[in-house]
Structure 1
Amino acid sequence: EATETERLATYIQKYQAPGVSFRIKHTVIGLIYLLLKNKYLYRGFHFLTMQCRNRMQLDESHELDLHFNDYYRHRMAEWQAYMALPQIENLDKLILRRKEIYRRYDSSIRETPVLRKPVFNDEACCIRYAIQVENKASFYRRCLTRGIDMAFSFSYIVCPASFTHAKRIAETVLDLPYYYDMKDEEVTCVINTINEIAAETPRKKQKLIV
């Protein structure tokens, strides 16, 4: 009975107390995150890992990893809690700021034949501001050259090949910078850049799908 109890305690401890390697790994990740908050270091990191290798922020494997690992556990590491807890304490302020940014994007970004905005809902607090653009890879690269990075909601979608509309929509979606601590002048820079690039982009014969 004692042996079985010890085995059970060891099993539980394995999932409760992170080992030294786990702590070191995630401490390093946390330090990298803090360093990359400097925009110049971030741009250098982005250039070395993405642009000079001719890669974008896309999942190239098209495979789903269904194995449980450290990232799927509900318990936060120390560095994750360090970043998350202050945000939870200020959640109302974060939501208000995100709504302000969303409202500014919606009122200032111009829809064109090559750019479509999301539906605006003043009561909602969205986790991203996603636009549809023609040739999103080219649009993304041109934004990068002007200092605006973005994220991809979809690098691909898992659905039957016959779902052509869904696939075409996924191929047009880009997420604008949408961080609660963005300064007003940074939001203005994003808006101006998006409007300028959209105005410079020639229209294709095929319309964007809603």
Structure 2
Amino acid sequence: MKLLLIEDNEELLKSISDYLTHEKNICEVAGTFDSAREKLALYTYDCIILDLMLPDGNGLNLLKLIRKEGIESSVIIISAKDSLDFKLAGLDEGADDYIIKPFHLPELYSRIKAVMRRKNHNTSSLLEFREITVDLLSMEVTVNTTKLNLTKKETYLIIYFINNENRVVTRQAIASHLWGDYTDNLDNFDFVYQHVKNLRKKITDAGGEDYISTVYGLGYKFNS
């Protein structure tokens, strides 16, 4: 899963990020209302972990903005405010769950997985593009009836391409989607080329078409 953690306590933010990254998730972080809003405008996330008390804004207002703009990410509020009124306000504004600080990290991760299971149960778990099918629950990719042996990054990459059909996506955008904030200080994104090359080969070796075209000087485009 790709997660956005919005929390101004740097120590807690690092603890949550380290734990969830260790559990094989992609984590991006934001410590302020404005930085969170910027990331939400640029990238998509499976689940957002949202603190209510931010130094430059109210988390509830950010939640209202998320739902108003049609962002489909699941949202779990984390807050030290444990009154019923705050819980109801968060849930009424569209949060999927509300967890009180302090909490154990395994409990938070269990809540995230439970929210995602409910979401996937209510929607199709299959992402399909012509002969390519991705099962979003098992994370298996098939071309016609042939199962591809993809790495986790290659699986995320084909999902990203299908979800951005006919759009030019930059190498930086791909790197940020697959590796999160760890790409901020990189000098180049040449490693993206190798992942795209490997994905292309595995699809075509299984009898699929190569829908990925290189847009020189910019990045790639997944063509329909």
TM-score if structure 2 supplies the norm length?
Answer: 0.26
Q: Which has the larger radius of gyration?
A: 1
The structure whose residues are more often helix, as a share, is 1
Kindly indicate whether structure 1 or structure 2 has the higher relative contact order, using CA contacts under 8 Å at least 6 residues apart.
1
TM-score of the pair, normalised by structure 1: 0.28
